Amino acid sequence: MEDPCENSAENEQEEEAKAASEHFAEVAEAEKGSDADSDSDLETEGTDGLREGVKDTLYQRFCQALNVVPVSCFLCQQNASELNLQHRGLGPQGAQALAVMLTSNPYIKRLDLRDNGLLRAGAEALADVLSKNSSISDVDLSENQLGAAGAQALCAALTVNQAVQKMQLAGNSLEEQAAKYLADLLQVHTGLKSLDLSYNQLNDQAGETLGPALAENTGLTELNMSWNHLRGPGAVVFARGLEANIFLKVLDISYNGFGDLGALAVAEALKANNVLEELNMSNNRISAAGALSLGLGLRVNRTLRILVVSRNPMQSEGCFGLLKSVRDNPASALELLDLSADLCTGLQGFLIFHSFGGGTGSGFASLLMERLSVDYGKKSKLEFAIYPAPQVSTAVVEPYNSILTTHTTLEHSDCAFMVDNEAIYDICRRNLDIERPTYTNLNRLIGQIVSSITASLRFDGALNVDLTEFQTNLVPYPRIHFPLATYAPVISAEKAYHEQLSVAEITNACFEPANQMVKCDPRHGKYMACCMLYRGDVVPKDVNAAIATIKTKRTIQFVDWCPTGFKVGINYQPPTVVPGGDLAKVQRAVCMLSNTTAIAEAWARLDHKFDLMYAKRAFVHWYVGEGMEEGEFSEAREDLAALEKDYEEVGVDSVEAEAEEGEEY
């Protein structure tokens, strides 16, 4: 509820200003006349400095008559192209004194009077200036408590004189009544290019008023409606106005209440609108359903370059839906899709799931990794990569795609967990008796690994390990960041009745090549580090005993420069399974992430396939035709050869290395 004392004080101040201005009008005209005579005399004498002195004296007289303190900055800037008087406390009378001087000023192009308490009387004085001065094209009157009456005066002035191209009216307590005046302005002012109405109280009724005006506007290219109260039917009508508009390029409707219905209306607008390039819809209460609706517009839109939908409760389903819509639109112009996780209280990193064989160095996943590396340089970026299998292939050009993707993402990824389809097929057939595994079967196995890795972030445990901690223990060098993933027990419900599945048994199972989710034999290489992530009924004593046994086996070799070799995490939350799924519900499980030199086998296999195709330059023309250069193939192949050599070098024992150095010396 408004305080009547405050209203009466404000009205009294405005009445006083009005009376003073009326009293001074005749004096102002007389002074201008005398100035004109003086100016003609001064021009004859050629003394510009004296003329400026007369103008300064005139401004000071106006201030004295209106009982306000002259603004010294104005005296310095009155002949500049920009007059910046932010936060000067001018008030209505100060604005009136200034207005008399601005009416015929031919120099000032930009007028900035933000936060000066101008109120209605000040707005009316400046409106008189804007109706007559054709030089001022950029005006900022934000945070001046102008209200509906002030907006009415300004809109009327801009209708008369259309010289102003940019107007900022943020934070002026503008409500639905002011929206009517603004709507009238938008329908007739074709020269206004940019309008800022943020931080006001424009509600759903205002949206219903402004929507049709936006549809008919033929000049505005940038509109800021953020931090208002557009919601419900008003948001829908406003979005329909966007659908019909053919000039607007930048629209900010963040921090409103568009919700799912508003998102659907915006999606319909994006289907028809072929002009809009930037759209900000952050903080609009858009759920996963609203995001999926918005995706319908992204499937066909050809012009939108930037879409910001951060800080909306869209969840992963909504985010994935938007990404999929962009991917499915070959004509999409989208360069930036902002799904920022600013609402997270403790963002640790990002998990990126993609196939190496299906993408290229210029693919979406590669671009996403690059953007995350730039925007979140210090956060962990972990890949779950479906890598090419020795016998199972999804595409003829898979060797090209895999080499190009590995090369491009190598510097942007902190850790890449390797999985291949052939290894998971074999595990499904052997352990779960599934002869023809579907993608659902494969994905559920990968899901167990992801769940184990993130369990310590979600539940309590004796030795919880966060993303940064196990990454620090797994990656000895920046490029050596491709650990193998193994999960145990992978067992069906029928077999689980006959198995004890002790800590020792599931630990031993992780070191069996048949249980690895990548086709390579760890016995042909050496382990650099192993991260054992246990879940459920597990105690440190049993873990230590199991690891001690592993270290005694000759078939399991570790590099001699890493004597410890193991990082252990224990989480009390037992593993979960999909109801009715393939896996048995067990009391304990372990996920092993192991960085081993044996992965070089996978690189060598892939390099050989690449060389066979590239020797004939087979299929290269398709990539070149899409804008890639042939030199990128050679560069990527050399990078993979260097990576393969890096793994070979870290596997050499330090004693052998010292001996070789001695021989060379």
DSSP sequence for 426-453 = HHHHHHH--SS--HHHHHHHHHHHHHHH
Determine contact, residues 646/480, Cβ cutoff 8 Å. yes
**CATH H-level superfamily of 604-651:** Helix hairpin bin (1.10.287.600)
The DSSP symbol for 599 reads G
CA–CA dist 543, 564 (Å, integer): 14
| Catalytic positions, written as ranges | 469
Where are the chain's structural domains? Answer: 56-158, 174-345, 349-603, 604-651
Which among 515, 498, 494 has a CA at the least distance from the CA of 590? 515
Cα 416 to chain centroid, rounded: 23
pLDDT of residue 499: 75
Q: Which CATH number fits domain 56-158: 3.90.180.10, 3.80.10.10, 3.40.50.10440, 1.10.10.10?
A: 3.80.10.10
Per-residue model confidence (pLDDT) at position 152: 96
The pLDDT assigned to 342 comes to 56
pLDDT at 300: 96
Q: Residue 343's pLDDT is what?
A: 55
The strand order across the sheet containing 588-596 reads: 349-355, 380-387, 415-420, 484-488, 588-596, 527-536, 566-571
Q: Examine domains 56-158 and 174-345 and report if their fold is the same.
A: yes
Q: Tell me which fold the domain 349-603 belongs to.
A: Rossmann fold (3.40.50)
Predicted confidence at residue 572, as pLDDT, reads 87
Q: Say whether pTM exceeds 0.85.
A: no
Cα–Cα distance between 39 and 299 in angstroms, integer? 65
Structural fold of domain 174-345 = 3.80.10
What was the pLDDT predicted at 460?
75
pLDDT value of residue 11 = 55
Weakly modelled stretches of the chain, pLDDT under 70: 1-56, 341-345, 358-362, 390, 392, 461-462, 653-665
